[in-house]
Every structure is written in structure tokens, then in C-alpha cells.
Amino acid sequence: MRTPSWTEDELLLAGALVVRNGWRELRTNDRAVQELSELLRALPLHGPEARSLPSFRSPDSVSRKTTDFMTNHPHYTGKATRCGRPTLLMIDAFMQREAAMLQAAQTIEDLIASGDLHLLAPQPGEVDEDGVAAVEGRLLARWALSRERDPKLRKLKIGQALREGRPLRCEVCAFDFGRAYGALGDGYIEVHHVTPLHVSGTRTTRLEDLACLCANCHRMCHRSRPGESWRTPEALRDEMAKSAKTGPH
């Protein structure tokens, strides 16, 4: 069995290590490299066969990956090592949003340390249809989707809207399940975290952190594309407004 390719989560953690080191590579015997190797071997991303390989995310392989990050940075003047497009995308993401990416890496580290991520099963929709997960990490998408699908949390959010006299409809497109489907759709709506987990951290979800969305808008808020992997309802409304200006579809 070949060693599996690096996932977004693994690249995120390796990239954070390099950025914290001033965009310099780290050697195999560096304690930070050895600790990251141990963490990567524990992530719930690969099967037992992969994790049993001696070379799987070994300190040597982690050190080589830090070299990829350093030498493929645009300001590096030497010869770049060969690396895949996912690594290049992660380098660009750190350059564009360093603080957010470092926070995302810290959140994953905290969730792994607490043991919470090991309890979560993969969530439908955490990986896009083309197989590309959120640049901030598949594990954060798994955690966020799991929280959004918590039936108790959804019930509380719906109850808040009804108590405040607000119609139970999508906060982006105004779709109303009850109006469209009658009794079958009454009381139905999905919820979405307005602020991504890598920004909000691992705090307890508050009702004001959630927005009511229809299934289509919810999917579009989570749909990832290179360098972008999370949308607020406001950002999605902006996307729809820009699309409307181009004419009817």
C-alpha cells in the first residue's frame, strides 16, 4: 500500500508549523516536527492500514513537507521542490489569510487534544462533489455540519424565530417550506453557522450564531472552491445579486 496523499487538514497543520517558524523549513530532529508527526498519525482521516506504514507521516515526511512550503513560497529565491496543487493552494491561503488559517490549525489541534473529533462520524456534504474539501480542513467541516444537524439545536433556533414572530423562511432567498409544501413543510428549516468554526473557536454554539436557511442555500454556503470554503448568508446574498445582474438563467 502506498502512503496516502496529504489531506487539507494535514497540509493546514504542516503549513501552520512553517508559518510559525517564519516560513522556514524544520528538520527531522526538531521537536515540533516530531510532535506534528505524532498528531498526524492520530488524526481520524486514514484507515489502520495507512497508519501502520512506517513511512506514514513520519518525521522525515513532515520535514520534507515543510520544505515544500518554504521553497514554493513566492519570495523564496532558491529552487522550488516539486509538490502538488493542494500544497500550493494551502500556501496561497496562508498568504491571503494568515491569521484565520493559524486559528483554524489551532482549533483542529484543540479538538484533537480534547478527543471530540474522534467521536464524530463523517458527515454527508463535508466533501464537495469534486472531492475537494474546505481549505480550512475537512475535520472542521465535519464538526460544523455535525453541530448544525443537532436536532435539539435546530429546534431551539426554530422556537426562537417563532417566539419573535418572524416567518420561518430562508434568510437568504426567503423560501418558505410551509408555503411551498403545505402541511408537509410546516415547521421545517435548516440551520447554518453564521461564523465558521475556525473563527468562532470551539465555544458552545449560541442561537445567535445560527441562521435559518433552505436546503439549497445551506448547501451553497458550504460549497467549497479554491481558496474559499465558507459563506455567511450575507455573502451568499451578494453572490445571488451579482448573478442576477448578469441576466436571467
- Backbone region of residue 113 per phi and psi (left: phi > 0; alpha: psi in -120 to 50; beta: other values): alpha
Contact criterion met (CB below 8 Å) for 101 and 16? yes
Closest among 103, 224, 111, 207 to 161, alpha carbons compared: 207
* 190-193 and 210-213 beta bridge pairing: antiparallel
pLDDT in tens, 108-119: 888 888 877 777
Grid cell for residue 99: 491569521
pLDDT in tens, 46-103: 888 888 899 999 999 999 999 999 999 999 999 999 999 889 989 998 998 898 889 8
Residues of the chain with pLDDT under 70: 125-137, 197-203, 225-229, 247-249
Model pTM? 0.78
Contact criterion met (CB below 8 Å) for 111 and 76? no
- The count of C-alpha atoms lying within 13 angstroms of the C-alpha of 200, restricted to the half-sphere facing its C-beta, is 17
Q: Which secondary structure element, helix H or strand E, spans residue 211, and what is its range?
A: strand 210-213
Helix (H, G, I), strand (E, B) or coil at 3: coil
Grid cell for residue 122: 463523517
